[in-house]
Amino acid sequence: MSAININKNNLQNEVVNSDKPVLLDFWAPWCGLCRMVVLIVEEIAKERSDIKVGKVNVDEQNELAMEYRVASIPTLLLFKDGKLEKTSVGFKPKAAILVELGI
């Protein structure tokens, strides 16, 4: 499965009400490190059916970025039972992301 585009209209259904943990990637098209992280995020989405993976374009969804206090991108947020559990900021290799977020 590939990552889902998350916006303020589908956040409740796709993230808050999800029965699986959700990994959200906050990114922007002009961000070079974000383009590197998105490859990792897409890999995780394809490999892991036990988690839902989503992407939030901060240029288009500034309200969501502010709501979750995303001050730097790329930022990865892990939600469990609709609540923010863990955060990873900046580029890291896939193994480091998995360990840091506990997934």
- The residues that are catalytic are 31, 34
Cis peptide upstream of residue 74 (ω within 30 degrees of 0): yes
Is the preceding omega at residue 93 within 30 degrees of 0, hence cis?
no
Instruction: Give the C-alpha separation, 102 to 96, whole Å.
Output: 10
Task: Give the separation between CA 26 and CA 5, rounded to whole angstroms.
Answer: 10
Please report the DSSP string for 60-79 in residue order.
Answer: T-HHHHHHTT--SSSEEEEE
